[in-house]
Structure 1
Amino acid sequence: MPLILLYGGLFLLPLFIVCRMALENGLGSFANVLSSRVFMRVVENTLTISVTTTLVSVALGYLLATLLWKTAGWQRLVVLGFVLLPFWTSVLIKNFAWTFLLQDNGVINSILQSAGLADQPLPLLHNRFAVIVGMVHYSLPYAVFPIYTSMLTIDPRLERAARSLGASTLSAFWHVTLPLTRPGVYASSLLIFIVASSFYVTPVILGGPRQMMIANLVDYYTHTLVDFSSGAALSIIILIAASLLIAIYQSLPKEGQHG
């Protein structure tokens, strides 16, 4: 009970302060935020980048989770090490590493020009592409483990039974493996989308002013405009949106199609 009270207080007290700041002017701060052109532009950026990051991360995460599931022994340990590698590196270090890789005279452009694939440096940095690359790099482990966990519950004899009944590899995956791993896909998609929609550092370092996301807008309200009420109102809007996503996830089936 003391721990529950402690952690509950550490969560509820700041939340109460933010709500009080957001309601200082009644609902005026909410109306000010929602009627802003910048808000709509930032929401569009956030949704586009977050959805793209989620799709790419889940697709790559599914491949890595399958590789972990199919391998064993030292090979699984090697794959697991590469999956965990981003966890061992600071997000700032990863972002600055991508700036060196993606800049005009960086490694990637140098390789492309040396191979004759590009006549001049490609604009790979300070745009939406760079932001998505950095966010996928950070989010990939969050996609792998929920899917891998759901794969561990699958009886390997099911796939062999499907193959023995004439199913091709693709058909066995589509009708057996994918339905049973659907809960893991749901969980990883929700987790990555919530994490991606709250990114702050990566859009600042790898993106440009046109790639501002919702967390950057909160910082703009509080530090540039010194409008704490509007910044708090925007934070409450983000919290409500995330809560709705979690409520939708809770309504989804927690077992596979044949579970």
Structure 2
Amino acid sequence: MLRSELKAGIDYAFREKRVLGCPLARIKLIAHVRGNRWKAKWIDTHPGLVDYVTTAQIIAPWSEQKGFLREEKELAELREYNLEHGYDGNFPICEALQQVFESVQDELSYDHGVLRTTLAPLNRLRTRSGLSEYALRSPAFQSRDGSLRLPQDQAEELARSFCRTEPAPVLISIETTERNWSVDVARPGNEYLVPLLNQYRASWAIIRQWCGSDAAVAERDKRIELLERLVWDAIYSLQKAGSESEAARLRRAIDRR
């Protein structure tokens, strides 16, 4: 828990070591000492004991300890499910998923084989991806705060569907990043970025594959053509308004393409 969330006089679940399965003890916070240290009184395991604890050892309000343990168990089962179904933390695939969900620009985040979101943004993305509304499927689960945790295979299924349906947002994002990084790598002294760029190129190749290369290229070219038409319209408008220098600057930019 965060220090700002803690209050003296409230009972909390305490865990001496932040290790999965380590038992919880019930404590009552007496007062904040300094920094992340609190003075606390033990309620059950060592009744009456007064000692100092750190913020990191305070797991949840005692009233929520059963829910916390249930979530901890469900998350462990989800991670075990991922391992049983081939998840190995493979960087290109994991990075590809992370970039796809970032390009959605909604309340979804992917990390280490787990997609975290809530039902509303999840269903918005599923609608955009041509999928039906989400029905909770094990080992996915809903946590105490209402957020959903989905396993690797469900996250990948959703990402692939989105890439097929709306390749443009994803492709524009990765191509912009690749272009900018390629320019940075070419500058003297930035050779150390080459391995990182190559590492990410593997994930970009996966994303392009998910998008479908032919459809993706066609969609990209269509958007480029539209943007060029808009730029030419702007050039003509600038010329009519007497802004020849600005019109010439845009024309040079188009000619360099």
Would you tell me which structure has more strand in proportion to its own residues?
Answer: 2
TM-score, reference length from structure 2: 0.24
Would you tell me which structure has more helix in proportion to its own residues?
Answer: 1
Q: Which has the larger radius of gyration?
A: 2
Bigger relative contact order, structure 1 or 2 (CA pairs below 8 A, ≥6 apart): 1
